[in-house]
Structure 1
Amino acid sequence: WPRIKLDDGEVPVVAHLLPRTTYPGAMLGNRMFPVLTADGRLVMLSAPKHTTIKYPDNRGGRRLLILGTDGSVPKNFLGPKICPMVGGFGHIALSPDDKYVYATGFVSSGKRGKGPCNVVYRVALDGLAGSKIIIGRMYQAGKGRDGLNDPQGIATDKGGNIYVSDYGNDRIAVFKPDGTYLDEIPVQRPDTVHVSRKTGAVYVMQIQTRGKPFTDQHYYVSAHNWRAERVIKFGSLADKTEKAAFVNTLKSRYGGGAQMALDLSGDAPALWVTGLRYGRSPIFKVVDGGDKLESMGAPIDDLAKKDKARYLGFIGDVTVTGDKVISRHPAFGMHTNTSFVYSAATGEYVGTYVPKKADGKDENMWSLLYGEMIAGADGNLYVNSRSNTIRRYDADGKQIPFASTGTNVIEGFWHGHTRTAGMFIDEAGTIYVPAAAANRKLERMKIKVVGADGKVRNENLIEVHGARMGGIAVDREGNIYIGDQAVPRDSRIPAWFAGKLPADSAERHPSNDYKQYASIFKFPPSGGKIVADKSGKYVGQCQYDPTRLTVKDALWVRRLGYNGSHGHEIGCHCETTRFDLDGFGRLFVPDVFRFRVYVLDSAGNEITHFGSYGNMDSRGPGSPVPSPEIAFGWPLSVECAGGRVFVADLVNRRVVAVKFEHAAEATCSIP
Structure 2
Amino acid sequence: MKTVHRIVLTAILFAALPAFAQKTEIQKPYRAPCVERENVFEFAERPAVRLLGKDRYEITFASKANCDATVAIVDTENRIVRHLAAGVLGANAPAPLQKNSQKQAVAWDGKDDLGEYARDPGKLRVRVTLGLKPVFDKRIAGESPYNIAGAIFGISCDSEGVYIMSKGRRGRLLVRKFGHDIKYASSLVPPPANIPEEKLKGMGYVEYEPGKKAIHNRGLYSTCGDHGHYASMDGKRPRYCQPAMSGGRLFYLNSAIPGGSILYYISNDGSTDTRGCAGRPFATKVASHARPHLAASPDGKWVYMSDDGDNDSRIAGSCIWRCSTADSEPAKAFAGEFRKPGSDNTHLNGNTGIDCDGQGRVYVCDTSNRRVQVFDPEGKHLATLSANKPQLILVHRKTGEIYLYHGAMVEGKTTPRFTKYSPFPEFKEIHHTDGIDATCVALDSWAAKPTIWTGGGNKPGMDPRGLDTEISVRVWEDNGKGLVKVFDFEEEAVKEAAGNYVGRWSGLIGDRVVCDPYRERLYLKNSAVFDLKTGKLLHTFRIPVSTDDIAFDKRGYLHAHFNPCFGIQGAARYDPDRGWNPGDRGVLYPEVPYDYGEERPGIRGVLPLKDQGGPHGFQMGIGANMRGDIVVESCIYYVPKLDDYAKEQAVAGVKQGRGIFDLGMESHTEEKYANMLRGLQDGEKRGESIYSVPREPGVPLSGATAWTYDASGKLKKDCAVVGGSGINGVTIDEDGEVYFVTNRPRMEDPEHPFMYGRGGTFGEPGQPENGFTGTLIKTRNGACKIIAADAPIPLDADRFPKRMPDLMTISFVNVTGKGQWCWAEGTEWMYAGASPIVQGSACKCPQMRHHTDWFKRTYVPEAYRHSIGVVDSAGNLIMHIGSYGNFDSGSGPASRIRVGGDEIGMCFNETVSGTDNYLAFDDHGERVVVLRLDYHAEQTAPVPAQ
TM range (shorter): 0.7 to 0.9
Q: Residues 756 and 769 of structure 2 are in contact (CA less than 8 Å); yes or no, is this contact kept in structure 1? A: no
Partners of 1:596 and 1:266 in 2: CA distance: 43
**Aligned match of 1:218:** none
The aligned amino acid for 1:43 is L
Relative distance call for 1:203 and 1:390 in structure 2 (3 A) is: farther
**Aligned match of 2:851:** 580
Relative distance call for 1:204 and 1:615 in structure 2 (3 A) is: same
Does residue 443 of structure 2 align to residue 262 of structure 1?
A: yes
The aligned amino acid for 2:906 is F
The aligned amino acid for 1:529 is K
Q: Residues 746 and 754 of structure 2 are in contact (CA less than 8 Å); yes or no, is this contact kept in structure 1? A: no
Instruction: For 1:157-556, list aligned pairs within 5 A.
Output: 157-206=357-406, 229-236=415-422, 237-240=424-427, 244-248=431-435, 258-264=439-445, 265-276=447-458, 278=464, 279=466, 280-283=469-472, 284-290=474-480, 292-294=482-484, 296=485, 299-308=488-497, 310=500, 313-314=505-506, 315-322=511-518, 324-330=520-526, 338-341=527-530, 343-345=531-533, 348-356=534-542, 367-368=545-546, 371-387=548-564, 388-396=569-577, 397=579, 398-403=589-594, 404=597, 405=599, 407=604, 410=607, 412=609, 413-415=611-613, 417=616, 420-437=619-636, 443-454=702-713, 456-465=715-724, 467-487=725-745, 494-498=753-757, 500-502=759-761, 514-515=771-772, 517-530=773-786, 533-534=789-790, 537=805, 538-543=807-812, 549-556=822-829
Partners of 1:97 and 1:121 in 2: CA distance: 17
Does residue 865 of structure 2 align to residue 599 of structure 1?
A: no
Partners of 2:613 and 2:494 in 1: CA distance: 36
Partners of 1:181 and 1:472 in 2: CA distance: 65
Q: Deviations over 1:236-265 (max 9, x none)?
A: 443446655544498xxxxxx733333442
Relative distance call for 1:567 and 1:135 in structure 2 (3 A) is: farther
Does residue 47 of structure 2 align to residue 47 of structure 1?
A: no
Partners of 1:192 and 1:494 in 2: CA distance: 50
Q: Residues 320 and 344 of structure 1 are in contact (CA less than 8 Å); yes or no, is this contact kept in structure 2? A: no
Partners of 1:189 and 1:410 in 2: CA distance: 57
Q: Deviations over 1:262-320 (max 9, x none)?
A: 344243543525313513222444444555455x3872221122123647724332324
**Aligned match of 2:656:** none
Q: Deviations over 1:64-91 (max 9, x none)?
A: 31232x4444665336543337421211
For structure 2, list consecutive stretches of 5 or more residues without a partner in the other structure.
1-199, 580-588, 638-671, 677-700, 796-804
Relative distance call for 1:579 and 1:117 in structure 2 (3 A) is: same
Relative distance call for 1:493 and 1:242 in structure 2 (3 A) is: farther
Which residue of the other structure, out of 15, 30, 35, is the alignment partner of 2:239?
A: 30
Partners of 1:263 and 1:322 in 2: CA distance: 51
Partners of 1:468 and 1:100 in 2: CA distance: 47
Instruction: For 1:13-162, list aligned pairs within 5 A.
Output: 13-14=216-217, 15=219, 16-17=222-223, 18-25=226-233, 28-37=237-246, 41=248, 43-50=250-257, 61-68=261-268, 70-73=269-272, 77-78=276-277, 81-84=281-284, 86-88=287-289, 89-105=291-307, 107=309, 114-116=314-316, 118-127=318-327, 131-162=331-362
Which residue of the other structure, out of 906, 918, 922, is the alignment partner of 1:632?
A: 906
Relative distance call for 1:668 and 1:324 in structure 2 (3 A) is: closer
Instruction: Quote the offset at 1:377 in angstroms.
Output: 4.0
Q: Which moved more, 1:532-541 or 1:2-11?
A: 532-541
Partners of 2:723 and 2:754 in 1: CA distance: 24
The aligned amino acid for 2:304 is Y
**Aligned match of 2:831:** 558
Partners of 1:288 and 1:325 in 2: CA distance: 47
Greater Cα radius of gyration, structure 1 or 2: 2
Instruction: Quote the offset at 1:595 in angstroms.
Output: 0.9
Number of aligned residue pairs: 606
Partners of 2:416 and 2:834 in 1: CA distance: 48
Identity of aligned residues (%): 20
Q: Which moved more, 1:530-539 or 1:427-436?
A: 530-539
Instruction: Quote the offset at 1:153 in angstroms.
Output: 1.5
SS of match in other structure, 1:303: helix
Partners of 1:548 and 1:130 in 2: CA distance: 44
Relative distance call for 1:533 and 1:500 in structure 2 (3 A) is: closer
Relative distance call for 1:454 and 1:602 in structure 2 (3 A) is: closer
The aligned amino acid for 1:12 is I
Instruction: Quote the offset at 1:501 in angstroms.
Output: 3.0
Relative distance call for 1:495 and 1:285 in structure 2 (3 A) is: closer
Q: Residues 105 and 152 of structure 1 are in contact (CA less than 8 Å); yes or no, is this contact kept in structure 2? A: yes
Instruction: Quote the offset at 1:382 in angstroms.
Output: 3.2
**Aligned match of 1:222:** none
The aligned amino acid for 1:230 is P
Relative distance call for 1:167 and 1:493 in structure 2 (3 A) is: farther
Partners of 1:340 and 1:77 in 2: CA distance: 42
SS of match in other structure, 2:228: coil
Relative distance call for 1:449 and 1:228 in structure 2 (3 A) is: farther
Instruction: Quote the offset at 1:434 in angstroms.
Output: 0.6
Q: Deviations over 1:116-138 (max 9, x none)?
A: 25332333445488744322333
SS of match in other structure, 2:264: strand
Partners of 2:519 and 2:272 in 1: CA distance: 40
For structure 1, list consecutive stretches of 5 or more residues without a partner in the other structure.
209-226, 251-256, 331-337, 357-362
Partners of 1:436 and 1:107 in 2: CA distance: 40
Q: Structure 2 length normalisation: TM-score?
A: 0.57
Instruction: Quote the offset at 1:576 in angstroms.
Output: 2.1
Relative distance call for 1:510 and 1:285 in structure 2 (3 A) is: farther
Q: Structure 1 length normalisation: TM-score?
A: 0.78
Instruction: Quote the offset at 1:323 in angstroms.
Output: 5.2
Partners of 2:939 and 2:613 in 1: CA distance: 46
Relative distance call for 1:146 and 1:491 in structure 2 (3 A) is: farther
SS of match in other structure, 1:525: coil
SS of match in other structure, 2:345: helix
**Aligned match of 1:621:** 893
Partners of 2:572 and 2:382 in 1: CA distance: 65
Instruction: Quote the offset at 1:148 in angstroms.
Output: 2.1
The aligned amino acid for 1:379 is G
**Aligned match of 1:220:** none
SS of match in other structure, 1:501: strand
RMSD: 4.0
Q: Deviations over 1:194-249 (max 9, x none)?
A: 123355443333479xxxxxxxxxxxxxxxxxx99513415244344665554449
Relative distance call for 1:586 and 1:567 in structure 2 (3 A) is: closer
**Aligned match of 1:215:** none
Q: Residues 205 and 228 of structure 1 are in contact (CA less than 8 Å); yes or no, is this contact kept in structure 2? A: no
Q: Residues 201 and 233 of structure 1 are in contact (CA less than 8 Å); yes or no, is this contact kept in structure 2? A: no
Larger relative contact order (C-alpha < 8 A, sep ≥ 6)?
2
The aligned amino acid for 1:304 is A
Relative distance call for 1:71 and 1:376 in structure 2 (3 A) is: farther
Q: Residues 46 and 62 of structure 1 are in contact (CA less than 8 Å); yes or no, is this contact kept in structure 2? A: yes
Relative distance call for 1:198 and 1:104 in structure 2 (3 A) is: same
More helix by share: 2
Q: Residues 336 and 347 of structure 2 are in contact (CA less than 8 Å); yes or no, is this contact kept in structure 1? A: yes
